[in-house]
Structure 1
Amino acid sequence: MLDSRAAVERLDDAHVEAEVVDYLRHPLDAAALGGLLDKLEDPPTDLVRRDAHFAELGLTEADVETREQVVAVLAEHPRLLQRPVLVKGGRAIIGRPKDRVAAFLAE
């Protein structure tokens, strides 16, 4: 599985400039999340991590079905933002599985 550090290394290897956003120190607000979703090629709900924290918060699939719900949940709980997210021009992908990163960068 590709983590955020590995994604940055791939960007460096491909000589692609990238901005790394520390979303925990500087969480994305609703407008920024909406802008990211505008670029995202994946379904909006895929941007939400379904991990132990998701369960601890008592969230279910019904809480992240719509774009608006995804924005609300991620604005309130930035730790649930799936990563890595790669943005190139007007497009964005979630870099999982890891083979998506190389194909995305090559385009």
Structure 2
Amino acid sequence: MLVKVLHNNNCSKSRAILEYLDENGVPFEIIDMINDPLSPLELKTILKKLNQSIFSIVRTHDKLYLENYSSKQYTDEEWLDILSKNPSLIQRPIIIKGPVAMLGRPIENVKYFIDK
């Protein structure tokens, strides 16, 4: 089954997942979420596959978050819009396999996810 990887090339963990998939012959598709940002609807679909709340994929230690978003409350719909416009705030990588997805850390969990 083809695995989709929401990827940020500036992220070492994201690059490590691609390397692992490549070395193990796992077919995958890269979704470059920085250069081709996801729409709010696409993000909502991914959250359903993750079975997580929107805030679980927000990088709360990121400088952009701390400077612009940490002191305010936002609705889920507002967060979808914020993340769509600021994809660097999304935790990565996110691995999607059919109807389910997971955050791609730690790599041991990815290995288990891919094998099942």
- Which TM-score band applies after superposition, normalised by the shorter structure? 0.7 to 0.9
**Structure 1, unpaired ranges of 5+:** none
Candidates 96, 101, 116, aligned match of 1:87: 96
Which amino acid counterpart does residue 16 of structure 1 have in structure 2? V
Q: CA 1:63–1:19 in 2, change beyond 3 Å: closer, same or farther?
A: farther
Give the 3-state SS of the residue equivalent to 1:28 in structure 2. Answer: coil
Residue equivalent to 2:114: 105
Question: 81-90 or 93-102, which moves further after superposition?
Answer: 93-102
Counting aligned pairs with the same residue, the percent is 34
Q: Which string of whole-angstrom CA distances, capped at 9 and with x for unpartnered residues, describes residues 12-32 of structure 1?
A: 233221111111111001111
Whether the 8 Å CA contact 2:93–2:104 is kept in 1: the answer is yes
Q: CA 1:106–1:74 in 2, change beyond 3 Å: closer, same or farther?
A: same
Give the 3-state SS of the residue equivalent to 1:102 in structure 2. Answer: helix
Q: How many residues align?
A: 104
**Structure 2, unpaired ranges of 5+:** 1-11
Candidates 26, 44, 52, aligned match of 2:63: 52
RMSD: 2.0
More strand by share: 2
TM-score by structure 1 length? Answer: 0.82
TM-score by structure 2 length? Answer: 0.76
Residue equivalent to 2:80: 71
